[in-house]
Amino acid sequence: MASSAEQMAGLNLSRFSQATELKNRIWFTLGALIVFRLLSHVPLPGIDPKALEALFNTTKGGVLDFFNMFSGGSLERMSLIALGVMPYITASIVVQLGTSLSPTLAALKKEGESGRQKLNQYTRYGTVVLTIVQGYFIAVGLESWGATQGLSAVVEPGPLFRVACVTALLGGTMFLMWLGEQITSRGIGNGISLIIMAGIVSTLPKTLAQLFEGGRTGTMQPLMVLGIGVAVIALIAFICFMERAQRRVLIQYPKRQTQRGMMQADKSFLPLKINTAGVIPPIFASSLLLMPLTLVQFAGQDATQDSKMGDFVLGVTNALQHGSPLYMALYALGIIFFCFFYTAVVFNPEETADNLKRYGGFIPGIRPGKNTETYLDYVLTRITVVGAAYLTLVCLVPEFMFSSLGFVAIGGTSLLIVVNVTMDTVTQIQSHMLAHQYGDLIKKAKLKGGARR
């Protein structure tokens, strides 16, 4: 058994070494991600790094930490790509929601490739607008940030700094959007997803170093360190299993006459993923929950001058801290709500039922049309309950670890993104390997056919 496994591994490596196009795509992807990491260390013009670091430490636990994680620390350093690809993701979600709410955008979606290109163009326009708006508020916020503490992250505040800041952030975000599209077309995997994953993974070495240092110095028990590692591995295995889980609905097609004159009925399956909403629900829920805490932190001393206001601010801050019971309860409710909401946006039972009826397909025992729509909606609702429970569990386990241990290796949202992107990338690599293998077989068949002639 061991020798056969070694032979299979050697065979796969030999096939990989022969797949020149696949190797070029992987090298291109790695080069693009290196460029992304280098840009995260290029600061915005007119920023005082030491003052910025001191001010950023006062907002720990807020929404800035959340977006800083996705940008790979670029927001903390206020680099050219401080906004990362979040404006592009937001614009994509808005356009996707618009296709469900606007008849004009819905008609574009049905036009095929030309409609998809127009929607992508609208997404780019939306990215530009969102980046300009967010960049302006970041510039104004940097100028006023820390005024009550006698600190200023901006060397020379004024209109010139605002224009330079917005221009630099716009250029950085648009370059990342272009880089992601280049990775998608010339590399391996989804470029935007890989950029987000690279930002998350870049923070892991520092986190693991803190974990092992705590075990070495005795601040954390060795069994605790081992337990955290086992929990992370178990979560990864659980995520892999649930992301592959599907509810396959049998679709039957009427009998058709074959070339030999035989009547044959075709059948296929409609795969419904358990987690149709993906990682959108945790992202939305986290952003909404952390926003009040961030506003309170930015308000600083000005919001606490009045004793009643100060008590209110302190109560909000304590109630919405990571790991608090209220935070975890609202987080779970937010994930469940956005699971059902985004699933309803992504999957349209009425459109699916109409397509099945148009092509003659039907679900055995279910009449085409309205009955099929009702059945699909019923099945989708049931599996979304399971998907919402799965996402809630994965995201609350790290929060529970944080509340009980005071340390978490990686957040649930981050873990979901990393595992999903890794699985998608590996699947694409396997597809390229399979295409290369079939290409070799076709070439050999042509050579043999030519030799026989």
Q: Indicate if the pLDDT at residue 303 is higher than 80.
A: no
Q: Which of 197, 258, 178 is nearest to 415 (CA)?
A: 197
Taking residues 6-25, what's their average pLDDT?
A: 64
The CA-atom distances, in angstroms, between 279 and each of 193, 205, 339 are 11, 23, 9
Q: Decide: 366 and 270 in contact? Cβ < 8 Å.
A: no
Neighbouring-strand partners of residue 246: 273
% of the chain surpassing 90 pLDDT: 14
Where would I find the H helices in 71-145?
74-77, 86-101, 103-109, 113-144
Q: Indicate if the pLDDT at residue 37 is higher than 70.
A: yes
Q: Indicate if the pLDDT at residue 125 is higher than 80.
A: yes
Taking residues 172-188, what's their average pLDDT?
A: 91
Taking residues 4-26, what's their average pLDDT?
A: 63
Taking residues 154-168, what's their average pLDDT?
A: 88
79: number of CA atoms within 13 Å, CB side?
A: 20
Q: What's the pLDDT band for 4 if we cut at 50, 70, 90?
A: very low
Q: Indicate if the pLDDT at residue 344 is higher than 90.
A: no
Give dist(CA 157, CA 51) in Å, integer: 14
Q: Which of the two residues, 176 and 268, has the higher pLDDT score?
A: 176
- By three-state DSSP, how is residue 254 classified? strand
Neighbouring-strand partners of residue 273: 246
Q: Which of the two residues, 270 and 71, has the higher pLDDT score?
A: 270
- Say what the pLDDT of residue 34 is: 93
Taking residues 352-367, what's their average pLDDT?
A: 85
Q: Which of the two residues, 10 and 159, has the higher pLDDT score?
A: 159
Reported as a single tens digit per residue, the pLDDT across 66-99 is 667 767 777 778 888 888 888 888 888 888 888 8
The CA-atom distances, in angstroms, between 446 and each of 19, 336, 436, 440, 441 are 20, 55, 15, 10, 9
Q: Which of 195, 181, 171 is nearest to 80 (CA)?
A: 171
Q: Which of 275, 292, 290 is nearest to 336 (CA)?
A: 275
- Say what the pLDDT of residue 341 is: 87
Instruction: Label residues 410-426 b or e (16+ Cβ within 10 Å = b).
Output: bbbbbbbbbbbbbebbe
- The top-scoring range by mean pLDDT among 120-134, 186-200, 293-307, 415-429 is 120-134
Q: Indicate if the pLDDT at residue 243 is higher than 60.
A: yes
Looking at every residue in the chain, the average pLDDT score rounds to 79
How many other CB atoms sit within 10 Å of the CB of residue 240?
14
- Say what the pLDDT of residue 433 is: 80
- Say what the pLDDT of residue 304 is: 47
Q: Decide: 72 and 40 in contact? Cβ < 8 Å.
A: yes
- The span from the first CA to the last CA of the chain, in angstroms, equals 43
Q: What's the pLDDT band for 8 if we cut at 50, 70, 90?
A: very low
Q: Indicate if the pLDDT at residue 182 is higher than 90.
A: yes
Q: What is the pTM of this model?
A: 0.78
Q: What's the pLDDT band for 196 if we cut at 50, 70, 90?
A: confident
**Domains of the chain, with CATH numbers?**
17-201 (1.10.3370.10), 203-410 (1.10.3370.10)
Q: What's the pLDDT band for 357 if we cut at 50, 70, 90?
A: confident
% of the chain surpassing 70 pLDDT: 77
Q: Indicate if the pLDDT at residue 7 is higher than 50.
A: no
Q: Indicate if the pLDDT at residue 418 is higher than 80.
A: yes
